[in-house]
Amino acid sequence: MCEVWSAAEFFGHVPLTAVLWLLMMTESAGNCPRSCHCSDRGGMVVQCMSRSLDTIPSELPRDTAVLLLSSNSIKHIPREAFGELPHLKELDLSHNNIESVEVGAFHGVSEGLRMLDLSNNLLSSLPRDTFTHIHARVRLSHNPWHCGCALQEVLRELRLDPETVTEVSCHTSIQDKYVGQPVIHVLDSGVNFCTFHQKTTDVAMFVAMFCWFSMVTAYIVYYIRHNQEDARRHMEYLKSLPSTAHSSKDYESASSVF
């Protein structure tokens, strides 16, 4: 016959460490978002793939080690989006519609993160400090990247996943000849997009200054001509006055008398 224990008797026969472990497991399972599936595999794995999510789920288990958010409709990664997940090791955001990532989006997980997948999204550029302090292997393949100084500075700050590094290509570029080429090959050939950017900026400043100088010169010329025309009209007006000729004759008569 099976012996039935009360709750007090059960916890009295179970070691305290086991009780704490059970409570932690219950708490973690209870915090799992409804749209996700959570399982403990030597670290909490949270699967939220293909759930039509347009934002990152809230109230994720704090002990999440692996977060899988691929194949959803997420468009934007806000600042400190994963700041409550200090144990996060792997983050999969691939196959979404991500167009923008705020600076500090990975603040709080950057030190411990080992894999970050942003492939197959709609990213064309990223803020320079997006990946500050991140030591993870980062996947950026199959995005419509614009090859310019901003992208070059971002790539300088991170470690691209070697398996997909050649799949990070220029969708657009400040020079058309680089469109379609892997970014890593372009940069390895000695191309410096930031130099092009500086030259473009210098040319733009020169054009702006030239236009400004031309406008000032045109205004001065107009001002001088306008004043000359006003002076000419004034002289003609003075000459046309009858009193002017009469006064002149009186003055000549007076002068001859003296």
Residues making up the chain, counted from first to last: 258
> Residue 208 has what pLDDT?
57
First to last CA, the chain: 157
Q: 91: helix, coil or strand?
A: strand
Residue segments in the chain with a per-residue pLDDT below the cut of 70 = 1-30, 196-214, 226, 234, 237-238, 241, 243-258
Architecture of the domain whose range is 7-191: Alpha-Beta Horseshoe (3.80)
> Residue 231 has what pLDDT?
74
Q: Are strands 44-47 and 37-40 parallel, antiparallel or unpaired?
A: antiparallel
> Residue 6 has what pLDDT?
54
> Residue 26 has what pLDDT?
42
> Residue 72 has what pLDDT?
98
> Residue 165 has what pLDDT?
94
> Residue 200 has what pLDDT?
44
CA distance 171 to 182: 9
